[in-house]
Amino acid sequence: MLGRNWTRVGRWGVEQLRSMSQATAVKNLEKMHAEFEGRPLYLDAQATTPLDPRVLDAMLPYMLVNFGNPHSRTHAYGWESERAMEDARKSVAAIINADPREIIFTSGATESNNISVKGVARFYKSKKRHVITTQTEHKCVLDSCRALEGEGFEVEPVQSGGGQERGIRSGTVPTPLVVGLGKACEICISDMEYDMNHMIRLSNRLLSLFEANLTNVIRNGDPKQTYPGCVNLSFACVEGESLLMALKDVALSSGSACTSASLEPSYVLRAIGADEDLAHSSIRFGFGRFTTVEEVDYTAMRTIEAVKKLREMSPLWEMLQDGIDLKSTVFNRFVFVEMAPKKAARKVFSIKVKQEIIKKKEAGQKVGDIAREYGVHNSSISSILAQKEKIMMSSVAKGVKKVGSRSTTMEEMEKLLFIWFTDRQLKGEITHMGMIMKKAIIIFADLKEKEEAQESCTGQPPKEMEVLVFCSGWAKRIKKRLGINSFFMHGEGGSADKLAAEKFAKQFQDFVKEEGYQAQQANMKFSILHRSSNSAARLAVLSEFKSKTDACVKTPCFLLTTRGATVPHLTYDTLQLVLGDRGSEYPSYVRVTDLTVAQKPGYNNEGISIWTRHGRKTLSVENVYQQANMKFSILHRSSNSAARLAVLSEFKSKTDACVKTPCFLLTTRGATVPHLTYDTLQLVLGDRGSHVLQYCLDGIEPISDAVEDSKTSLAEFAGMSEYPSYVRVTDLTVAQKPGYNNEGISIWTRHGRKSLSVEKYLEKITAFRPDIWQAFVDTDTSSAKKVKRTLIRNETFLTKAIEAKNSRPILIRMQELTNSAVIATIVGGLNHKQRSEFLGTTCASAGADGFSFEGFFPGGTGNVASEYTPEIADVFREYVEKLPEDKPRLLPGAFNPKFIESAVLAGFDVFDSSLPYLAAENGLALRIPHVSSEKVVHPTETAQGELVEPGIVVDEDDAEENYSGCGPQWKGFTLPLKAKKYTEDFTPIAADCSCYTCRNYTKAYVSYLLNVKEMLATVLLMLHNLHHFEDFFAALKKRHMGSIRSV
């Protein structure tokens, strides 16, 4: 009774269907049949298959009733799900004779293959670095091998035959899916023999029907060593995509779903020896458990009809029938690079000139004399004379060169081709000439079929057979009509050395890809499609806008006028009621005045006056176009130290952001604040004002290609677009390895050492599009010799950075550096002479937008730097005052609170959050005494900004052994919560702290989490430490406000 509708039973489940009365069951099945009537047959089982209702029955309880998280070990819901998960693990293991402990659940085959290939290779990395694969492997396996090649592995493709889950795959295991997989494996074990025999019957039937009715059908792959449920066939002289379009009532495929976005033929078919033309002609028939004989018969019948019809329209099939060897025939074709000189341009005459030529011939002049007069060959004049009647009858506009003799079918085909091409442009899809030709063939064939059907219905005599011919002339015309900027041809009219041309093309494309070049694009493109023959009217397309490169606006058109920044009276949603899918969303155009408002004359003496809602505003041309890189505005200065209160504003991407200094940058690892998700970070930041996120190149370099491909900035890619971004070279929370900077600057990513030149660094910065970025810098000051060497190199690096930011870019990508701010880095250790030399260079550079003091600690810190030594104080006093007053001063790294306070008094403005992060990593909670209202201590200050009293009250309660894992330098402003004394302390970390951790948890709870190594511990510590660090900077401003005077 079920028949084909077996796959639809899943709505109720097998058991539910059995529980129904026969009449109800039949009624429900009939209802399902009606719902799915008209849908195509499904024979694409290699892409996916319908769910077996028995599997659905097994899964449903874990979606509706037993919905517990299998990793929840504290209640029955979790225990039930865990037991079901482990039962499924056993079922999967049983089908492949494996141990259940060897089964790891992932999201799918692609992830499993990535873990397997990369995991094994990296595990044996120190011993074996040779990977062998085959060219017929799945795309995700081949891509994994390519990734390993980038890590230094030797990959050899060979031709053959033609936290959870034990830390291997972290993430919550989806119980329903796992249970379903387990049930599917049980069914597979019980039904495997029957299913295999069913597949053999279906495949043999399909092949026998094709063999009896068609010729030149090739089966791809070994006919014996094969899976019968997958039959891959090539039909000679039939394009696979055309056949699929003809079989709209059968769901088939021409290749793997993983590579369906590519027009290239299947790499697997090419690897097993299939010719490219047959690979393009391949169709995959995939059978499943529920495929019926009737479905196979119907599919075979429809395929035979379509193949015969397409072959009748194919000139290649006619040539093949005539015995012509297609493989030895050379065809003129399109490729991507134009090589060698072209033939001399053919002279083209206007209609008016052609009419003059005809009149001269009628007056008795000879063809040869006319040809010599006009400088053309005799055949050109003869061609004009052959069209005498059409030319003389033409009444056309001046400048028209051709007579319209194109058929309506060709006109209609090109209109539909334009619609298709425009749709691809709107979707941002790349289209090359080969795709256009293929689409033209399909559209033309469909139109001719409709035309012939109409002629037969009306009894009209058949028209002369029309053939679609592709030539260079058609290609140029269609390029102009579609508005294609350019394409290049190679063939009879190109170069005699085709192999040399193609070799050069590949070399050039490889070079462009390797170097990362991208040609300068036009600001906006205006392409005329058609002109009126009796007026100046024209149809055209506006495209290639700066922000919406895929947008395409047809003209004549109108601009959507806004008032303020919105279309008057309409919200975005109501605007969609008008526009819907009527075009692009939305390039922008800014003009000076609003023509819907009456303008007031007579106010333009000194510039141009515009009338805003706040009254008249006069603008010069400089006012309109000038944009600062980043603005640093000093609000107050200390009367007895170098401290100052200021504001950072007008960032490139966040013009409305305003960051008050002294402040700290939010240091990230990778592209996120360590241990915190976006939502948990908001528990710290909340409404505390703007913050700048600091990204370190050694952490984000591995994702640079992905960011560039996304065509967004790093901040947008990381989901942190509301925060201005700063990219620096190295992460100072990680100890740096000196001695690797001979040819460039070495950074240490998670994939190992990577050497960068200044040019490569600028490419990375361009890809990330930050608001602020550090000029390329070598901070290796591990010896006096290296200090001197770094100074020389850094002068060159800074010069190149300023030039890249200020010069007009040759490459469009480099425009991303304009309007960003560059930070110059001052290094030199404690060597006064070396710092003086470099300080003179950086101060002389007018292009730097701020200065960062680094190089005090050779090799980076990797831990807290506690000593504010007299030597460092001397350096600060001597050199900070030499820096420009109107530029921010940065002091990155992990410094203890006393050091930071002294640096603020010395004139530094910006620090970073290395200290709270490293504290959390070491299991320490920040507890800076003078942040607490109970322990405020007011130190006295010298004129040089030195603290006579410490300013920080040291807590001597914690013994030094409690800091054994991190060092005594943390003592005095942190609590070592791992210590035994805190295991029974049920008070908050800080009684007066309003952070999420202190409001909800106790020292004892955090101590317990730290000692059992639960990752929630570092999350809670980061929440507290960042919040407390924010309070520390607020306290600094409050403590020293009394000595601040207004500027």
Residues flagged as binding site for Zn(2+): 993, 995, 998, 1024
Query: What are the angstrom distances between the C-alpha of 258 and each of 108, 254, 658?
Result: 13, 12, 46
Q: Would you list the DSSP string of 155-204?
A: EEEE------GGGTS-S---HHHHHHHHHHHHHHHHHHHHHHHHHHHHHH
User: DSSP character for 347?
Assistant: P
Instruction: Enter the tokens of residue 984.
Output: 């029974």
Pairwise CA distance, residues 109 & 258, whole Å: 11
Alpha-helical segments (H) within 20-169 = 22-36, 53-59, 61-64, 76-95, 109-123, 139-150
Using alpha carbons, select from 50, 61, 3, 56 the residue that is nearest to residue 30.
3
Q: Convert 158-188 to b/e letters by CB count within 10 Å (16 or more is b).
A: eeeeeeeeeeebeeebbbbbbbbbbbbbbbb
368: helix, strand or coil? helix
From residue 19, alpha-carbon distances to 9, 62, 183 in Å are 13, 21, 21
Indicate the burial class of 491 (C-beta count within 10 angstroms; 0-12, 13-18, 19 or more). Answer: middle
Q: Left, alpha or beta for 38 (phi > 0: left; psi -120 to 50: alpha)? A: left
Q: Which helix (H) or strand (E) holds 823?
A: strand 821-826
CA-closest candidate to residue 726, choices 762, 771, 768: 771
The gap between the terminal CA atoms of the chain, to the nearest Å, is 90
DSSP string covering 264-333? SPPHHHHHTT--HHHHHTEEEEE--TT--HHHHHHHHHHHHHHHHHHHHT-HHHHHHHTT--GGG-----
Whole-number Å distance between alpha carbons of 1002 and 133: 55
Neighbour-count burial for 692-724, b at 16+ CB within 10 Å, e otherwise: bbbbbbbbbbebbeebbeeeebbbebbebeebb
Enumerate residues 6+ apart whose C-beta is below 8 A from 841: 795, 798
Helix H or strand E segment including 647: strand 644-649
Secondary structure of residue 897 in the 3-state scheme: helix
Burial class, 998, CB count within 10 angstroms (exposed 0-12 / middle 13-18 / buried 19+): buried
Tokens of 788: 């001197």
Phi/psi for 417 (5° steps) reads -65, -40
What single-letter DSSP state applies at residue 454? H
Q: Which two tokens stand for residue 263?
A: 């027009």
Rounded-to-integer distance, Cα 727 and Cα 703, Å: 14
Question: What letter does residue 630 receive in the DSSP assignment?
Answer: -
Cβ contact 859:813 at 8 Å: no
SS3 25: helix
CA-closest candidate to residue 178, choices 269, 74, 106:
106
DSSP 8-state code for residue 672: B
Question: Phi and psi dihedrals of 851, rounded to 5?
Answer: -135, 135
Tokens standing for 209?
């029907």
Is 185 assigned a catalytic role?
A: no
Question: Can you say which residues are annotated as belonging to the binding site?
Answer: 993, 995, 998, 1024
Residue tagged active-site, from 188, 258, 658, 843: 258
Question: From CA 184, how far away is CA 193, in angstroms rounded?
Answer: 15
Q: Residues 985, 1034, 672, 548: is their CA dihedral positive or negative?
A: positive
- Report the catalytic residues: 258
